[in-house]
Amino acid sequence: MPVYNLKINGQSQTVEADQDTPLLWVLRDHLDMVGTKFGCGIGQCGACTIHLDGSATRSCLLKVSMVENMEITTIEGISEDVSHPVQQAWKEIDVPQCGYCQAGQIMSATAFLNENSNPNKSEIRDAMSGNICRCASYNRIERAVELAASKMS
Protein backbone atom coordinates (compact mmCIF):
# COMPACT_ATOMS: atom_id res chain seq x y z
CA MET A 1 0.00 0.00 0.00
CA PRO A 2 1.38 3.42 -0.90
CA VAL A 3 2.76 5.77 1.73
CA TYR A 4 1.94 9.48 1.74
CA ASN A 5 3.63 12.36 3.50
CA LEU A 6 1.08 14.90 4.60
CA LYS A 7 1.46 18.29 6.23
CA ILE A 8 -1.39 18.65 8.67
CA ASN A 9 -1.73 21.58 11.04
CA GLY A 10 1.94 22.37 10.52
CA GLN A 11 3.12 18.86 11.32
CA SER A 12 4.40 16.12 9.04
CA GLN A 13 2.40 12.91 9.08
CA THR A 14 3.07 9.69 7.24
CA VAL A 15 0.16 7.45 6.32
CA GLU A 16 -0.21 4.20 4.48
CA ALA A 17 -3.46 4.17 2.53
CA ASP A 18 -4.95 3.32 -0.83
CA GLN A 19 -4.48 6.18 -3.27
CA ASP A 20 -8.23 6.70 -3.61
CA THR A 21 -8.86 7.04 0.13
CA PRO A 22 -10.53 10.40 0.80
CA LEU A 23 -8.56 12.70 3.09
CA LEU A 24 -11.62 12.67 5.39
CA TRP A 25 -11.12 8.99 6.22
CA VAL A 26 -7.34 9.31 6.40
CA LEU A 27 -7.83 11.98 9.06
CA ARG A 28 -10.54 10.13 10.94
CA ASP A 29 -9.47 6.49 10.72
CA HIS A 30 -5.72 6.57 10.07
CA LEU A 31 -4.72 9.59 12.14
CA ASP A 32 -7.46 9.60 14.80
CA MET A 33 -8.28 13.22 14.06
CA VAL A 34 -12.05 12.96 14.33
CA GLY A 35 -12.92 16.66 14.49
CA THR A 36 -13.53 16.57 10.73
CA LYS A 37 -16.96 15.01 10.26
CA PHE A 38 -18.57 12.68 7.74
CA GLY A 39 -21.97 13.87 6.57
CA CYS A 40 -22.69 12.95 2.95
CA GLY A 41 -19.53 11.84 1.17
CA ILE A 42 -20.42 13.82 -1.97
CA GLY A 43 -19.40 17.37 -1.05
CA GLN A 44 -22.94 18.59 -0.43
CA CYS A 45 -23.16 19.17 3.31
CA GLY A 46 -19.85 20.73 4.33
CA ALA A 47 -19.40 18.73 7.55
CA CYS A 48 -15.96 17.56 6.36
CA THR A 49 -14.64 21.02 5.45
CA ILE A 50 -10.90 21.54 5.92
CA HIS A 51 -8.44 24.09 4.53
CA LEU A 52 -6.18 23.15 1.68
CA ASP A 53 -3.51 25.82 1.27
CA GLY A 54 -5.89 28.13 3.09
CA SER A 55 -9.00 27.45 0.99
CA ALA A 56 -12.10 25.75 2.38
CA THR A 57 -12.31 22.33 0.74
CA ARG A 58 -14.48 19.24 1.20
CA SER A 59 -12.19 16.51 2.47
CA CYS A 60 -14.63 13.73 1.50
CA LEU A 61 -13.90 14.39 -2.18
CA LEU A 62 -10.16 14.82 -1.82
CA LYS A 63 -8.09 11.74 -2.52
CA VAL A 64 -5.08 11.39 -0.25
CA SER A 65 -2.84 11.05 -3.30
CA MET A 66 -3.78 14.59 -4.36
CA VAL A 67 -2.80 16.45 -1.22
CA GLU A 68 0.85 15.64 -0.63
CA ASN A 69 2.98 18.76 -0.14
CA MET A 70 -0.07 20.92 0.46
CA GLU A 71 -0.89 22.70 3.70
CA ILE A 72 -3.80 20.91 5.33
CA THR A 73 -5.58 22.59 8.24
CA THR A 74 -8.31 20.86 10.24
CA ILE A 75 -10.51 22.03 13.10
CA GLU A 76 -7.85 20.69 15.49
CA GLY A 77 -5.42 23.18 13.93
CA ILE A 78 -7.63 26.23 14.37
CA SER A 79 -6.82 26.21 18.07
CA GLU A 80 -7.05 23.59 20.77
CA ASP A 81 -7.96 26.10 23.46
CA VAL A 82 -10.76 28.12 21.81
CA SER A 83 -8.36 31.03 21.34
CA HIS A 84 -9.18 31.64 17.67
CA PRO A 85 -11.63 34.56 17.25
CA VAL A 86 -14.01 32.42 15.18
CA GLN A 87 -14.18 29.81 17.95
CA GLN A 88 -14.57 32.57 20.53
CA ALA A 89 -17.46 34.02 18.57
CA TRP A 90 -19.04 30.55 18.27
CA LYS A 91 -18.77 30.18 22.02
CA GLU A 92 -20.03 33.65 22.90
CA ILE A 93 -23.06 33.31 20.64
CA ASP A 94 -23.56 29.72 21.89
CA VAL A 95 -24.08 28.44 18.36
CA PRO A 96 -24.18 24.62 18.66
CA GLN A 97 -27.25 22.52 19.20
CA CYS A 98 -26.21 18.94 18.41
CA GLY A 99 -22.86 20.35 17.32
CA TYR A 100 -22.03 17.78 14.66
CA CYS A 101 -21.75 20.20 11.72
CA GLN A 102 -20.04 22.99 13.64
CA ALA A 103 -16.42 22.04 12.92
CA GLY A 104 -17.21 22.27 9.22
CA GLN A 105 -19.05 25.55 9.73
CA ILE A 106 -16.06 27.01 11.60
CA MET A 107 -13.66 25.87 8.86
CA SER A 108 -15.80 27.55 6.19
CA ALA A 109 -16.11 30.71 8.29
CA THR A 110 -12.37 31.02 9.01
CA ALA A 111 -11.38 30.58 5.36
CA PHE A 112 -14.04 33.09 4.32
CA LEU A 113 -13.02 35.70 6.90
CA ASN A 114 -9.39 35.37 5.89
CA GLU A 115 -10.43 36.50 2.43
CA ASN A 116 -13.12 38.99 3.40
CA SER A 117 -12.55 40.55 6.79
CA ASN A 118 -15.51 42.91 6.63
CA PRO A 119 -18.40 41.01 5.07
CA ASN A 120 -22.01 42.13 4.90
CA LYS A 121 -24.90 39.81 5.83
CA SER A 122 -25.55 38.77 2.27
CA GLU A 123 -21.89 37.82 1.73
CA ILE A 124 -21.92 35.80 4.97
CA ARG A 125 -25.03 33.93 3.88
CA ASP A 126 -23.56 33.15 0.48
CA ALA A 127 -20.24 32.04 1.93
CA MET A 128 -21.87 29.77 4.52
CA SER A 129 -24.52 28.28 2.23
CA GLY A 130 -22.41 25.21 1.47
CA ASN A 131 -22.69 23.98 5.07
CA ILE A 132 -25.89 22.31 6.22
CA CYS A 133 -26.92 22.57 9.85
CA ARG A 134 -29.73 20.07 10.39
CA CYS A 135 -30.59 21.65 13.75
CA ALA A 136 -30.88 24.93 11.80
CA SER A 137 -28.70 27.02 14.10
CA TYR A 138 -28.33 29.32 11.08
CA ASN A 139 -29.34 32.58 12.80
CA ARG A 140 -26.53 32.07 15.29
CA ILE A 141 -24.00 31.01 12.67
CA GLU A 142 -24.72 34.29 10.87
CA ARG A 143 -24.28 36.32 14.05
CA ALA A 144 -21.14 34.41 15.04
CA VAL A 145 -19.49 35.12 11.68
CA GLU A 146 -20.36 38.81 12.11
CA LEU A 147 -18.93 38.80 15.62
CA ALA A 148 -15.80 36.95 14.51
CA ALA A 149 -15.28 39.51 11.74
CA SER A 150 -15.42 42.33 14.27
CA LYS A 151 -12.97 40.47 16.53
CA MET A 152 -10.55 39.92 13.66
CA SER A 153 -10.56 43.48 12.35
Instruction: Identify which of 94, 86, 101, 91 has the alpha carbon closest to the alpha carbon of residue 136.
Output: 101
CB of 128 to another protein, least distance (A): 5
> Taking a C-beta distance cutoff of 8 angstroms, is the pair 83, 92 a contact?
no
Among residue numbers 52 through 71, which ones bind another protein (CB under 8 A)?
none
Residue type, 64: V
> Rule CB under 8 A: is residue 76 a binding residue for another protein?
yes
Q: What are the residues whose beta carbons fall under 8 Å from the beta carbon of 49, sequence distance 6 or more?
A: 36, 56, 57, 58, 59, 103, 104, 105, 107, 108, 130, 131
Among 5, 14, 19, 40, binds another protein (CB under 8 A): 40
CB of 5 to another protein, least distance (A): 19
In this chain, which stretch among 51-59, 65-73, 111-119, 124-132 interacts with another protein, using CB under 8 A? 124-132
Residues that bind another protein (CB under 8 A): 1, 17-18, 20-22, 25, 28-30, 32-42, 44-45, 47, 74-76, 78-82, 87, 90-91, 94-103, 106, 125-126, 128-142
